[in-house]
Structure 1
Amino acid sequence: MFFTYLRRELRRRRKAALVVASGLALGIALVIIVSSVSSGMSKAQDKVLQSLYGLGTDMTVTKAAAAPGSGTERPRFEFDAKDDDDATQSTDRVMVQGFQTLASTTVDKVGEQNGVADAVGGLSLTVMKVDGQFKRGEFKQSTEGDGATQGGPRAGGSGQPQGEVQGGGASFDVNSFTVYGTDVTQQDLGPLTSSKITKGRTFKATETDAKVAVVDAAYAKEKELTVDKTVTISGTKYTIVGVSTADSGDAAANVYVPLKQAQTLADSKDKVTTVYVKAADSQAIDTVKAAIQKNISGTTVTTSADLADTVSGSLSTASDLASSVGKWLSIAVLAAAFLVAGLLTSSAVSRRVREFGTLKALGWKSGRVTRQVVGEALVNGLMGGVLGIAVGLAGAYAVTAISPTLTAQLGSSGGGGGMGGGGPMGGGGPGRQTAAKTLDIALTAPVSLTTILTAVALAVAGGLIAGAFGGWRASRLRPADALRRVA
């Protein structure tokens, strides 16, 4: 009887049911779209962060920034004096990025802290190569008419020819590239994990001190490097065993070599610039950070959340809009939809006074009438939920299909600390700003099962709220109300 009456009433009041369902559908669809876009923003931000320090890293440990003006050095280049004008002068200078290092034992100390699942060290270097040649100038003597003959008035009685040196000078090119020393025994953590080996292979665990290298694909293309060729770093040749391609944006370094080789190149034995840390529990990152800072002095700990705060550009702006404006807009639309559904249901009950009064006169209890009204409202809510989910999925699919490109700029933090400052991004160090890194990220709007379940829950809630309005109104009706309407 309940379902028969329900089906008949919904069919008879199709327009009213459609209005209520459409209002709920609008709010639910907006919630799905905002939630999916926010999820896409989060994934895009994760890509930005992973492009810097690799997959799985929760925080980095670097040496605390020194006071301005202390502990820094300027690169010096020295050239031999040669008589041959055509001789090419060339020299390399390998520098530690940020000019600040930690002892390799710090990696073990970090790994021993409570809550740390894994820790691995790395050494980030910048190689500056200067090559070119000097050209000797030519002495041109003044003409005799200018009094430049020996002993003449222009000579000042010195007996030396007068004139000037013309031409000459120097022409040098300065090229730089980045090198990252990776612990080949622990390659599942650190910047190299943000790239995939597309040619050749990665390092072997036994190549701890081997003269082998993995080069970034973009750098390899620029310098025409391939697998089995060699790349020269400060006079040492390294055989290229693999070519890597960054998952997004720029690679963490141009060339990757075993950590021991990087330490040898920089004359930094048993030194690292950064310790990459993976927490055992993602919910306890702040606790692990506090423990490291307390137990290991002279270090700066930067979490992925800290680094995320430095992300700027359209990605940051869109993320703020989605999380603030979008969230409150969704709440406002949902609240309005619930209110309208309740008012429409209550209004429909008012127009059915004669019907409900007659049913009560025939023996229907108030509870049965109320359940009938709530049932109708709940079906309207479910219809709105189905419609809202369909519209929301269509909207999320449209965002993914269009894939608007957002820009993310990271590198506003200074000093030697932080993932950007002491990591492979380089440009850190005291009194210096990290080199800005701009990435283009294609936005997607993935819809999770949780979002769908939330939409269903909202649909049910909307139906129950509307039913509560109408049920309360229906429960107050009396058979006499119907008789007065008939009269």
Structure 2
Amino acid sequence: MFFTYLRRELRRRRKAALVVASGLALGIALVIVVSSVTSGMGKAQDKVLQSLYGLGTDMTVTKAAAAQEEGQAQRPRFRFDAQDSDSDEEQSSDRVMVQGFETLSSSTVSKVGAQDGVSDAVGGLSLQVIKVSGQFTRGQFQQDGGGEQPGGGTGQPEGRVQGGGADFDVNNYSVYGTDVSKPELGPLTSSKITSGRTFKASETNAKVVVADASYAKEKKLALGDTVTIKGVKYEVIGIATPESGDAAANLYIPLKQAQTLSDSADKVTTIYVKATDSQRIDAVKSAIQKNISGTTVTTSADLAETVSGSLSTASDLATSVGKWLSVVVLAAAFLVAGLLTSSAVSRRVREFGTLKALGWRSGRVTRQVVGEAVVNGLVGGALGIGLGLAGAYVVTAVSPTLQAELGAAGGGMTGGGPGGFGGGPAREAASRTLDVALTAPVSVTTIALAVGLAVTGGLIAGAFGGWRASRLRPADALRRVE
């Protein structure tokens, strides 16, 4: 009887039911789109941060370089020998310098790894290589002429030197020494090997190199080619493509090789740390800073505070304005649905009075009204889910590009080690910009939320109408003439 009457009433009042369902559908669709876009923003930010510190890295440990007084800064010096031969030979000179932070002893890696709450820790060495190569060209003496001096002597020839000079090219690139014994942690984990292979655990001191894809394309490097760094030849065994943003370094070599090239035996610039539990990251950070003096510990949360640009702005809008807009629209939809249902009850006073006269109790009348409202809510929920999914699909299909500007934020975050929080050796500027494509993934939780909102909207609307219907008296209802 309940469902039969329900079906007939909804069919008889199709327009009113559609208006209520449409209002709820718009509110629910907006909630789905905003929730999906917010989720996409979060994933985009995670992707940006992952491209900086590497997959699995919870924090980095560094030591800020000591401030140098004016005139004390060490600059690279290049020396070229004079050539006495007639041939113009090319000369070159490499300078390999530690970049970013002050070096830490390799023993510090073990100290960090021994801290409570630390699952694993590895060290890395950030280097900058400046190579100057070119040649000197001998000038040609052009004689203007000579003359006899008084007394019969011969004068010195007069003239000038033309041509000659020096033509040198400067090649500046970054190299990162990575601990090949623990490939699951460190800067190279933020890139995917798209050609060749990564390092083997046995290649701790091998003369092999993994090149960033962009750098390999620029220098026309292929698998099996050799790269010369400070006179040492390294074989290219793999090409790495960063998952997002730019690469941590142009070239990756085993840590021991990097230490040898830079005369930094048993030294690292960055320590990558993985915590045993993500809930203990703050406690681990405090423990490291307390027990290992002079170090700076930076977590992903610290780096997230430095992300600005359109990605950050859009994320703030989606989180604050978007959510509040969803709440306002949803509240308005619930209110309109309740008012429309209550208004519909007022137009059915004679009907409910007749049903009460026939023996329907107030509770049964109330349940009938609430049932109709819940069905309207479910219909609105179905429409809202459809509209929300369509909106999320449009956002994902269009994939608008947002920019994430990453700036230094103190704590030794300027020019950090590759994969370290704040940039790598290829990131000399204090800030840089990454382009991120926005998506709007719809989760099962979002769909469940939409269904819950639909039922809630129906119950709220039914509560308005049911309350009015339960207060009707049969005698008053039957006296009303419509």
With structure 2 as the length reference, what TM-score do the two structures score?
A: 0.92
Q: Is the 8 A contact 1:127 1:177 kept in 2?
A: yes
**What corresponds to 1:453 in structure 2?**
448
CA pair 348-213 structure 1, distance change in 2 beyond 3 A: same
Q: Counterparts of 1:43-62 in structure 2 under 5 Å? A: 43-62=43-62
Q: Counterparts of 1:310-325 in structure 2 under 5 Å? A: 310-325=306-321
**What corresponds to 2:192 in structure 1?**
196
Please, which moves more after superposition, 20-29 or 240-249? 240-249
Q: Is the 8 A contact 2:209 2:236 kept in 1?
A: yes
Q: Counterparts of 1:183-222 in structure 2 under 5 Å? A: 183-222=179-218
Please, which moves more after superposition, 24-33 or 279-288? 279-288
Partner SS state of residue 360, structure 2: coil
Distance 1:100 1:257 in 2: 20
**What corresponds to 1:484 in structure 2?**
479
Q: Counterparts of 1:318-337 in structure 2 under 5 Å? A: 318-337=314-333
Q: Is the 8 A contact 1:216 1:255 kept in 2?
A: yes
CA pair 112-72 structure 1, distance change in 2 beyond 3 A: farther
- Shift of the alpha carbon at 1:463? 1.0
- Shift of the alpha carbon at 1:22? 0.6
Q: Counterparts of 1:169-318 in structure 2 under 5 Å? A: 169-318=165-314
- Shift of the alpha carbon at 1:416? 7.4
Distance 1:212 1:351 in 2: 84
- Shift of the alpha carbon at 1:334? 0.5
Q: Is the 8 A contact 1:312 1:409 kept in 2?
A: yes
Instruction: From 111, 124, 127, give the equivalent of 1:125.
Output: 127
Once the two structures are superposed, what CA deviation does each residue of 1:444-482 show, in whole Å capped at 9, x if it has no partner? 111011111111111111111111111111121111221
Once the two structures are superposed, what CA deviation does each residue of 1:84-130 show, in whole Å capped at 9, x if it has no partner? 46121200011111151111122222222222222211111111110
Gaps of 5+ in 1: 152-158
**What corresponds to 2:408 in structure 1?**
413
- Shift of the alpha carbon at 1:263? 0.8
Q: Is the 8 A contact 1:376 1:467 kept in 2?
A: yes
CA pair 299-18 structure 1, distance change in 2 beyond 3 A: same
- Shift of the alpha carbon at 1:221? 2.0
Distance 1:416 1:355 in 2: 74
Matching of residue 63 in structure 1 with residue 45 in structure 2: no
**What corresponds to 2:469 in structure 1?**
474
Q: Is the 8 A contact 1:62 1:300 kept in 2?
A: yes
The percentage of aligned residue pairs carrying the same residue is 77
Please, which moves more after superposition, 113-122 or 176-185? 113-122
Distance 2:410 2:89 in 1: 41
Gaps of 5+ in 2: none
**What corresponds to 2:77 in structure 1?**
76
**What corresponds to 2:15 in structure 1?**
15
**What corresponds to 2:28 in structure 1?**
28
Letter in 2 for 1:484: R
**What corresponds to 1:390 in structure 2?**
386
- Shift of the alpha carbon at 1:254? 1.3
Partner SS state of residue 422, structure 1: coil
Instruction: From 323, 328, 344, give the equivalent of 2:340.
Output: 344
Q: Counterparts of 1:424-443 in structure 2 under 5 Å? A: 424=419, 425-426=423-424, 434-443=429-438
Partner SS state of residue 277, structure 1: strand
Q: Is the 8 A contact 2:408 2:431 kept in 1?
A: no
CA pair 335-13 structure 1, distance change in 2 beyond 3 A: same
With structure 1 as the length reference, what TM-score do the two structures score?
A: 0.91
- Shift of the alpha carbon at 1:422? 3.2
**What corresponds to 2:457 in structure 1?**
462
Instruction: From 86, 99, 113, give the equivalent of 1:111.
Output: 113
**What corresponds to 1:87 in structure 2?**
89
- Shift of the alpha carbon at 1:204? 0.9
Q: Is the 8 A contact 2:127 2:425 kept in 1?
A: no
Distance 2:480 2:435 in 1: 68
Q: Is the 8 A contact 1:38 1:319 kept in 2?
A: yes
- Shift of the alpha carbon at 1:51? 1.6
Partner SS state of residue 214, structure 1: strand
Please, which moves more after superposition, 233-242 or 132-141? 132-141
